[in-house]
Amino acid sequence: MKITFPHLGNTYFAAKALFDGLGVEYVIPPLSNKAALEVGSLYSPEEICLPFKIMIGNYIESIKQGADTIIFVGSCGPCRFGEYCELQMNLLKKLGHDLEFIVIDNPRDIGLKELFNRISSISKNSSKSKKDQLKAVYYAVKIINLIDEIESTAHYLAGYEVNKGQCKMLLNQCKTEAIKQNTPEQMFEHLKKYKNLLETVHIDKKKNPIKIAIIGEIYTVIEPFSSLYIEDKLMDYGISTKRHLTPSWWVKNMSLTKLNLNSLDIRRASKEYLPLYIGGHARECIGEAVLAKEQNFDGAIQIFPMGCMPEIVSKAILPTISRDKDFPILTLVVDEMTGEAGYITRIEAFLDLLERRKRNVLYGS
């Protein structure tokens, strides 16, 4: 068994730590890029959404490196994401690849027993003791939480830093060196070091930067390539950003779903506009927009892939929130044809709007 997985933000750090701790062979696909998207688009149905195409590209690049097993997070909810596994299995089989898929579905949908049965196929291939296996899982969870915290802190402090670019530099250094660590313990200690380094960044608390919430479809907002590295671009502009959806949030949310204790703040905030779960993360998108206004953010940017049904519903609701709350919201729809120049132009125009509002300069006055 040689395991691979699709990229989703920082998950590859936790995956590496987990598989290193288990002593299981694995392949980390190259970071998502244009080559992966081109390959994925070539073999995927034309009308399927962007995440599907990038994932197929990730898989094919890993298969070239000897991967024979794909671990993938599934969904039984009312969204096409729930069909990805079957579609991708069939597609890869037609391409002549005989692979094993391990689908990690929400325990609320498949039950804890079935979830553990699926995960056990990985642990059976580990030569480590049960104690060491549990230790590997423990560190993987700690690592995903810590690296998401580091990233979130860097994105927010970018608007307050005195030495422009310091937060971005530290974040990039942290990630570059983290993936080189050989054991879960080493990676965890490395991340703790960079968390402490971020706390030493010289910031100007008197600054009043533009603050933007990043909301939308979970894959597109978490995976930087699919959003054209929007958070990096906003750091360069000196903008403070906050993104609620992260891999660590997903782990916590999935764990609490069975008890109906997941995302209580988001469910409260979205109740007025979208009280029901309609699939994907539409309710989270709406709730995050309302929370961003309550937390005195200047605006929000919604990002989702072309054809994403839940986010299309969110997009229809967001103008009402924007009007009711006097809260600017920009929507960006991405696919393999999205041009970076037009994308940046829209972002810059939105930033100009927020800057003028912040200075109370409207209508050319």
pLDDT in tens, 211-234: 999 999 999 999 999 999 999 999
C-alpha span between 54 and 339 (Å, rounded): 17
Looking at per-residue confidence, does 251 or 361 come out higher? 251
- Domain extent at residue 345: 209-365
For residue 263 the two structure tokens come to 């995302």
48: left (phi over 0), alpha (psi -120 to 50) or beta: beta
- Asked if residues 107 and 141 have their Cβ atoms less than 8 Å apart, the reply is no
DSSP sequence for 298-313: SEEEEEEETT-HHHHH
Task: Compute the mean pLDDT over every residue in the chain, rounded to the nearest whole number.
Answer: 92
pLDDT in tens, 244-300: 999 999 889 888 877 777 889 999 999 999 998 888 899 999 999 999 999 999 999
Is the pLDDT at 361 greater than 70, yes or no? no
User: Which helix (H) or strand (E) element contains residue 268?
Assistant: helix 264-270
| Residues 101 and 149 grouped into a single domain | no
Looking at per-residue confidence, does 181 or 87 come out higher? 181
| Residues 142 and 285 grouped into a single domain | no
User: Which helix (H) or strand (E) element contains residue 229?
Assistant: none
| Residues 242 and 346 grouped into a single domain | yes
Burial 158-170 (b: 16+ CB within 10 A, else e): bbbbeeeebbbeb
Angle among Cα 220, 224, 229 to the nearest 5 degrees reads 115
| Residues 239 and 353 grouped into a single domain | yes
| Residues 218 and 152 grouped into a single domain | no
Where would I find the H helices in 158-203? 166-178, 184-199
pLDDT in tens, 66-112: 999 999 877 656 677 777 888 898 999 999 998 998 888 776 677 77
| Residues 134 and 233 grouped into a single domain | no
Q: What are phi and psi of 346, to 5 degrees?
A: -65, -40
Mean pLDDT, rounded, for 159-166:
97
pLDDT for position 76: 56
Distances (CA, A) of 12 to 39, 122, 177, 333, 359: 21, 16, 13, 25, 41
Q: Range with the lowest mean pLDDT among 147-161, 179-193, 252-266?
A: 252-266
Angle among Cα 224, 218, 330 to the nearest 5 degrees reads 75
User: Which helix (H) or strand (E) element contains residue 213?
Assistant: strand 211-216
| Residues 273 and 306 grouped into a single domain | yes
For residue 226 the two structure tokens come to 């699919």
| Residues 174 and 244 grouped into a single domain | no
- The SS3 call for residue 349 is helix
For residue 58 the two structure tokens come to 């990730």
Domain with residue 11: its CATH number is 3.40.50
| Residues 110 and 81 grouped into a single domain | yes
- The SS3 call for residue 333 is strand
| Residues 113 and 225 grouped into a single domain | no
Q: Which of 168, 186, 206 is the last residue in one of the domains?
A: 206
| Residues 17 and 97 grouped into a single domain | yes
For residue 4 the two structure tokens come to 């691979």
Is the pLDDT at 360 greater than 60, yes or no? yes
Looking at per-residue confidence, does 365 or 203 come out higher? 203
pLDDT in tens, 20-68: 999 999 999 999 999 999 999 999 998 898 999 999 999 999 999 999 9
| Residues 113 and 137 grouped into a single domain | no
Q: Which of 206, 237, 268 is the last residue in one of the domains?
A: 206
C-alpha span between 204 and 231 (Å, rounded): 21
C-alpha span between 27 and 5 (Å, rounded): 8
DSSP sequence for 102-128: EEE--HHHH-HHHHHHHHHHHHTT--S
Domain with residue 289: its CATH number is 3.40.50.11900
Domain count, the chain: 3
